[in-house]
Each structure stands twice: as C-alpha cells, then as structure tokens.
Amino acid sequence: KGVNMERVAEEADVVIVGAGPAGLSAAIRLKQLAAEHSKEIRVCLVEKASQIGAHTLSGACLEPRSLQELFPDWKERGKKIRHLMYTTSVILLSVLWFMCVCLFCLGLPMVNHGNYIVRLGHFVSWLGEQAEALGVEVYPGYAAAEVLFHEDGSVKGIATNDVGIQKDGAPKASFERGLELHAKVTVFAEGCHGHLAKQLYKKYNLREKCQPQSYGIGLKELWTIDEKKWKPGRVEHTVGWPLDRHTYGGSFLYHLNESEPLVALGFVVGLDYQNPYLNPFREFQRWKHHPSVQPTLEGGTRIAYGARALNEGGFQSIPKLTFPGGLLIGCSPGLMNVPKIKGTHTAMKSGMLASEAIFSQLINENLQSKTIGLDVQEYEENLKKSWVWKELYAVRNIRPSCHSILGVYGGMIYTGIFYWLLRGMEPWTLKHPGPDFAQLKPAKDCTPIEYPKPDGKISFDLLSSVALSGTNHEHDQPAHLTLKDDSIPVSRNLAVFNGPEQRFCPAGVYEYIPLETGEGSRLQINAQNCVHCKTCDIKDPSQNINWVVPEGGGGPAYNGM
C-alpha cells in the first residue's frame, strides 16, 4: 500500500538474457549484420552478475573455430587469449596405478592440439567489451526474473526482478520495481538449467520429442604452483579413480600461460550417480592426492574455488529451440560436446546462427509472422545444417554407452571401437536411463563412502573453499532457494536417501540440524553460501527445491577464474 508498483517498459528489437559466450556472440553478430546492411537495430542484453564474466566458470580449453568466424582478426584483438597449447594427454586412473595414453594420432574427441587455454571469465569480459563497442546495450546486475507474454501466447520480453525487498517481502526504502524489456525476439542464453528456460519448456512443450537432459557437477580450483613444475599449455584429462566404474566423471588440469605459474584444475561428476552417500566435493579433494596429480600441487597455493552444473545429455537431449517470440541458444538447451568437454565453441556458433536468422526476419518485410512475437524457425533449421549439429551427432552415443554393466570402462571400449572406426556414423542412437534425480537409490541399498580428512595443504574442507568463491548475497532479501513442501526433506530425503542434498551441494547450503528436543532433525538452508551451480534443482530426488535468481549482482565473484 502506498508503493508505486508500475514497471517502466523499454522497447528493443532483440533482448538477450545472459552474457555468456552464446549471448554475447549473438549480440555481437546482430550488430555486425546491422552495420554491414546500414540498419539500426536496438539490442539489449541483461546479465545477473554484477560485472560481465563474474559468474562465468569453466576449464576452459577453447576451440577457436567460432571465434575465428566471429572475429577473423581475433588474434590481434584478443590479448586475453593466451598461447597455443602444445601438449595433451589423457590418463586412466585407478587406485593403484595409472596409465598415460597419448592422443596425438588417435583422432579422439579429447585431442586438444590447436586449442587455447583461457580463463573463460576473462574471455567473456573481453567479448563484452567487443559487444559494447559495437553498440550493444549491456546491463550487468540485472537479473531476468520473469518471462512476459503477449495475449496470443508469444513471448513479449522479460522483466528484471524487483530490488530493495526485505526477507519477509516488505519493501525497503530503496525499493524499485523491475524493468520490463519488450522485444520482437527474446533470446534465452541463461546457461545450464536456466530458470526461465524451465518455464518455457513447460509452456511450449519443447522437450516433447527429446530425452531428459542429463547433467554433471563440475568443481574447479585455481592454484599458483612452483615455477619449476609449470608447463604452460599442458593439458591433462583423467577418468576413473576415485569414482567407481558406474559413476561417470573425470578431471582436467590445465597449465595456464600467464605472467605467473597458474594451473586450473577441476573434477566433474555425472549427476546420474546412484549412491546417495557420494559427495562430489570430497571426491574432488581425494582426487588431488593421486600420485600423478599431487606432485604438481605440492608447495603451491590454492587461490580460488567454484562449482557449476553442466549439460551432459548431448544430441539426444536437445529440445525444440524456437517458439513464438523467442529461442534458446548455447548451454541453455544443452549444446555441449560432452566427450570433448567443450561447449564454448558450439554455444558461440548457435548464438551467431540465431542472430543471422533473426536479422533476416527483422529486415524482410515480406515475411509475415502468425504471432506478435516473431517465430524464428529458420534458426533451428540452420543449426541442423551446421557443423555444430554434425559434431554433436557424431559423439551422441559416447556418454550413454557408459550405462552398460561395464560402466565407464564399457564407454571407453565403445568409443575406441565405434567412434574411432565409424566417426559416429553407427546406424543407432543409444538412450539415457532417465532424469538424473530418478537414478538415486535408497540409502539402505548403498554402501556409505568413507572419505579421508583434508590435510589443509592439498585437500581442504568445504567452508574454507566456499570462502574462495567470492560468494556474496544480501542477507535481507527474499530467499532464492525455496521448498515446495517443507515436510519432504525430513520425511523422504532424509528418511529414504539419508539427506543427499547435504552432500551433492558444493557450497554447504543444505544442512540437517538436530532439533532442540533431541528427537529428529530439520533442514537448514544457508542460501548465502550458494554459488548458483543449480545442482540442488537438478539432483533433489523429490524435486522439491526451486532455484530462482536472487537480487541482481548477488552470487559468486569468480572474476576470471
């Protein structure tokens, strides 16, 4: 009462949600086309992070194909993109031994010669600078909270979230209503498991003809190491230990070529794992003690930590990409090449193809749209004709081949035989077993996992790790992590699955606290720890947790990690 609840509305030709590689590439390509054809097109891009690149986390080993297409002169422009890699290897780890397999001549997806090690946050920040130089209106710190619709059901645009609200929902003195951005086409580039994309999947039934998406949780650290151990450009990937054969996962260790001896290392665990006692963070910490990894880190200093979910469903899990008034690009629909462990190049290309289709429809006055919001179906048609579709199709069976009785080893055998010989042209397509949350077994059917205590030198505890993520949320704001039913965590998740959320969360957000009476427990949500990885929204066996964007600017601050 007494508060102005009207929202200011702005009109644009195209609105893009998310300033990652896909969203920025789309924005850049639109402005490039507008300049080439002497057209005025207003492009607005909103990003929930307080600065472009702050929420971006990846390896990252960049395949430059899309970048070369977007900026043929990128080597002159891109001083933040470091030197050519010169070494690549994959290591199969087990408890007692390890084997190094050189991939120089095998032609397998994990070959990295000709690629570039980058800090993806720096790369995204650089793309943001290029976008702004071309006239893209970039709005960091503005979280897209709501999809707006025309009366005919087509997408009208988005609204950013209201700010200045107390935890109990009452307005503060600083209260401001969110901004509405209307557009002829709205491009959703939220990244993996975007909360707006989830709504669009349901409204337009976009997943009707594809398999459920499958995910992984990736955890990453940045270290400074002894300069004598530093080998700039070296890449190492591992599979196997400490995971069992039925749990898909592996690691990366990249030697960055910068002014100081830095290595980026990380561990990925497929979220279709079955044992509720598995703890991805502690698996990561244990992995660092393997004799092929620990010597690199000894004497070094850990300087940053982060985590995020990534799409692993591949070709089989790509939804319908277009709908009236909007479309999906990048990791939002899941265009990652899982065996390559790369999605930046495919995300960028999808954004470029989307922009070319959008631009064609915007300037072609003879094309009549059946809805107010433009339905740019040409984008999906062009994507299916591109090298992106061919690349994803070729590797479509590698990830699901790990679901046999042999597990990951069966997947390696399958890859060695069928991918190496047929390059993905086998006349069948394997299926995923179902949604990740449904794969979890009851705790009574699983063996608890005993993890070694962290030594504080190579391995660390969770809370000291979260402190290195730069995570910060305003305490007095509405919760961005909510439960649909407050009783389910104890009555089902704890009773049946031994509270897996306290283990699969890489930030210590979920914690079961004993009641003061001494009988029973309650779930405590430490939302201020959240690093926006979305794992809880994906893996919760009861699908009772809902993640939404907090006030713009809140969350991790990876700053080029």
Active-site annotation holds for 402: no
* DSSP assignments along 39-67, one per residue: ----EEEEESBSSTTTT-----EE-THHH
**Residue 9: in which H helix or E strand, if any?**
strand 9-17
Catalytic member of 282, 302, 308, 503: 308
Contact (Cβ atoms closer than 8 angstroms) between residue 120 and residue 133: no
The rounded distance, in Å, linking the Cα atoms of 339 and 216 is 13
Residue with token string 């479509």: 396
Catalytic member of 125, 344, 350, 469: 344
Q: With DSSP H G I counted as helix, E B as strand and the rest as coil, what are the percentages for the chain, rounded to 5? A: 30, 25, 45
Number of H helices, E strands in the chain: 17, 23
What one-character DSSP code corresponds to residue 178? P
Catalytic member of 177, 471, 530, 535: 530
DSSP bridge pairs for 396: none
Burial (CB count <10 Å: 0-12, 13-18, 19+), residue 533: buried
The CA-atom distances, in angstroms, between 379 and each of 2, 19, 26, 279, 384 are 46, 20, 12, 40, 9
Catalytic member of 192, 331, 402, 505: 505
With vertex at residue 51, the alpha carbon angle to CA 314 and CA 34, rounded to the nearest 5 degrees, is 70
Catalytic member of 44, 61, 402, 536: 536
Q: What are the residues whose beta carbons fall under 8 Å from the beta carbon of 428, sequence distance 6 or more? A: 397
The CA-atom distances, in angstroms, between 536 and each of 165, 207, 499, 502, 511 are 25, 21, 12, 10, 13
Active-site annotation holds for 100: no
User: Hey, what's the torsion of the CAs at 490, 495, 500, 503, to 10 degrees?
Assistant: 80
Active-site annotation holds for 533: yes
The rounded distance, in Å, linking the Cα atoms of 230 and 533 is 30
The rounded distance, in Å, linking the Cα atoms of 145 and 371 is 23
DSSP, collapsed to helix, strand or coil, labels residue 258 as coil
Active-site annotation holds for 102: no
DSSP bridge pairs for 139: 46
Catalytic member of 58, 186, 401, 459: 58
Going through 161-225 in order, the beta strands assigned E by DSSP cover 163-165, 171-176, 180-188, 215-224
Catalytic member of 61, 401, 533, 535: 533
Active-site annotation holds for 446: no
Tokens of 294: 């620990």
The rounded distance, in Å, linking the Cα atoms of 66 and 68 is 5
Tokens of 267: 């561990």
User: Hey, what's the torsion of the CAs at 552, 554, 557, 559, to 10 degrees?
Assistant: 10
Return the active site residues: 58, 308, 344, 505, 530, 533, 536
